[in-house]
Chains A and B, each alone.
Chain A
């Protein structure tokens, strides 16, 4: 079964660092980009950025560039989303998703269940 398994819920204080993970299984991890998507409480979906696990090349949304870092370790089929200094406004659900498709007809066909991040003093 193709799946993305995300790490568990996190509760952090402002200024702390955090790395959450997304482990792929059931498919060739290096053959598909992984995207990260934010959903703030009661709000819509926001694409944050993506990584090609084969070479760790990344694209970021301008809204998130410089605020988060996306990385991957292909040896363990895992992608990461990282913050160096959390803010209360980072409180949200974060999803990873597999990017499938060809020639710009890209779509997100497999999703993790999400990781809840709560930032509060």
Chain B
């Protein structure tokens, strides 16, 4: 099984901050990596697929990069609606989610 880790597990940030979340796979997964956002009481929402492709309708302040085992999700200027938990997910071998990174207000 492919294991996914994320760091940090949580972070506090202010509106306007640049935020970076890291995801690491236990083996190379090429670019088979997706990012989701989940707000409390809501279903997850797809943000980024194939490591760096922005899902339709997602603001351009979200971006993804990386390949192999190391990936990042960047929010260029944090907005109030971005406070949420973010999950990475590999699709190289069925699916595995990372443990999540909670972004809250500083």
Contacts and interface: CB of A to CB of B under 8 A. Distances in A.
B46 A107 contact: yes
A91 interface: no
B43 A111 contact: yes
B86 to A, nearest CB: 11
B18 interface: no
Contacts of A46: 97
Interface string A8-49: 000000000000000000000000000101000000111100
Interface stretch (A67-75, A82-90, A98-106): A98-106
Interface stretch (B19-27, B72-80, B87-95): B87-95
The interface residues of chain B, by DSSP majority, are classed as loop
B44 to A, nearest CB: 6
A45 B44 CA distance: 9
Given A45-B87, A95-B44, A101 B49 contact: yes
A107 B34 CA distance: 7
| Size bracket, chain B contacts | 20 to 34
Contacts, number: 64
Nearest to A114: B43
Interface in B38-93: 38, 43-46, 49-50, 55, 87, 89, 91-92
Given A45-B100, A106-B32, 18 more contacts: A37-B44, A37-B97, A44-B98, A45-B87, A47-B94, A50-B95, A61-B94, A62-B1, A101-B50, A104-B91, A105-B91, A106-B91, A107-B34, A107-B91, A109-B49, A109-B55, A111-B44, A112-B43
The 10 lowest CB-CB distance pairs between A and B, nearest first, are A111-B43, A107-B49, A47-B95, A106-B91, A45-B97, A107-B34, A44-B100, A105-B50, A44-B99, A109-B46
